Amino acid sequence: MSSTTPPRWRSGGPAVVWAVGLRAVASRAVVLSAAVWTAGLLPAGCGTPIPEGSVVLQQARLAELERRGAEVIRCRERLGQAGTAHHNTRVALERAQQRVSLLERRLGIGKFTPTTLQAAGSDWQLTLPKVQQLAAHGENPTRVALGALLKGHRAVVITYWATWCKPCTSPEELDHLKVLQRQLARYGATLQSIAVDSYDKVTSDARAPTWHYPLLQRDNAHLETLPRALVQSTGVGLPLFVVVDATGRVLWLRKGKLDGAVVAELVTAAARVNR
């Protein structure tokens, strides 16, 4: 007896495979639609299930889901960019506020409470003898009065150092001295470097080309020029920095090597003189 089933629907025929494939696509679309709706990626009203047998509608549904997913990704990217821009703006604003506060302190408007400097006594005055001055490495020295080097400047930062003092002569310290000199010049102040050991030791040292010039030299200059009250109260450890006005009156001092914070406070202290 022959089969009554049409040939096109017989088991294993191409038509059956095609129909089963459509059903699988539709089923996967329904599952994906439910997953996306559960994840909260679709607006209200877009979660109504589409009939399982409507393959064309399910394909349209998939295309819509892909479009919506791309929109979500773009939206998240824009939010990330906006957050980064906001952070950068806040950082820039904080830096600007810090800069304004620093300028106010240097102009004598804001309060100056240094953490790396020590206030001088009210009657601390430098003795101003003659010293040897070397304008540059290899040049012959000239004798000048220390007082003459102070005149014409709002303030002067004097650093006392020696060739045997490792913190005084380290590459880092010499770099900080260059920065200090540049920043002081903006406020009508200057830096004077006084070596306290002998002229021969200073000039014959292999590191002499790297010293900070112009350079002053006088044997035991720290003991001869600093006020006795300063020496008795703080000692004369090196390196030693003092901020003085044009008359040699000591205003601030710093014992120890430089760093960025010390440089900033020395500049501020010098900039505020006679404001």
Q: What is the pLDDT of residue 60?
A: 77
The structure's pTM equals: 0.67
pLDDT beyond 70 at 260: yes
Confidence band for 69, pLDDT divided at 50, 70 and 90: confident
Tens-digit pLDDT profile for residues 72-83: 788 788 888 888
CA angle 169, 171, 172 (to 5 degrees): 105
Mean residue pLDDT of the chain comes to 83
Instruction: State how far the Cα of 148 lies from the Cα of 134, in Å rounded to an integer.
Output: 15
> Which residue(s) pair with 130 in the sheet?
145
Mean pLDDT along residues 196-219: 97
C-alpha dist (Å) from residue 275 to 26, 102, 180: 83, 15, 20
Instruction: State how far the Cα of 226 lies from the Cα of 179, in Å rounded to an integer.
Output: 25
Instruction: State how far the Cα of 268 lies from the Cα of 133, in Å rounded to an integer.
Output: 27
Q: In this prediction, what percent of the chain has a pLDDT beyond 70?
A: 80
Q: Which of 19-23, 31-35, 237-241 has the highest mean pLDDT?
A: 237-241
pLDDT beyond 60 at 96: yes
Instruction: State how far the Cα of 23 lies from the Cα of 195, in Å rounded to an integer.
Output: 94
Encode the chain in three state secondary structure.
CCCCCCHHHCCCCHHHHHHHHHHHHHHHHHHHHHHHHHHCCCCCCCCCCCCCCCHHHHHHHHHHHHHHHHHHHHHHHHHHHHHHHHHHHHHHHHHHHHHHHHHHHHCCCCCCCCCCCEECCCCCECCCCEEEEECCCCCCCEEEEHHHHHCCCCCEEEEEECCCCHHHHCHHHHHHHHHHHHHHHCCCCEEEEEECCCHHHHHHCCCHHHCCCCEEECCCHHHHHCCHHHHHHHCCCCCEEEEECCCCEEEEEEECCCCHHHHHHHHHHHHCCCC
- Whether omega for the bond prior to residue 239 falls within 30 degrees of 0, making it cis, is yes
Tens-digit pLDDT profile for residues 124-159: 999 999 999 999 999 999 999 999 999 989 999 999
Confidence band for 102, pLDDT divided at 50, 70 and 90: confident
- Evaluate the CA torsion angle 137, 141, 145, 149 in order and state its sign: negative
Confidence band for 52, pLDDT divided at 50, 70 and 90: low
Instruction: State how far the Cα of 264 lies from the Cα of 246, in Å rounded to an integer.
Output: 21
Instruction: State how far the Cα of 232 lies from the Cα of 22, in Å rounded to an integer.
Output: 99
Lowest mean pLDDT: which of 29-43, 47-61, 200-214, 254-268? Answer: 29-43
The answer to whether the CB of 159 falls within 8 A of the CB of 194 is yes
Lowest mean pLDDT: which of 18-32, 107-121, 185-199, 256-270? Answer: 18-32
pLDDT beyond 50 at 100: yes
Q: What is the pLDDT of residue 54?
A: 64
Contacts 24+ apart (CB under 8 A), 205-209: 205/163, 207/163, 207/169, 208/137, 209/137
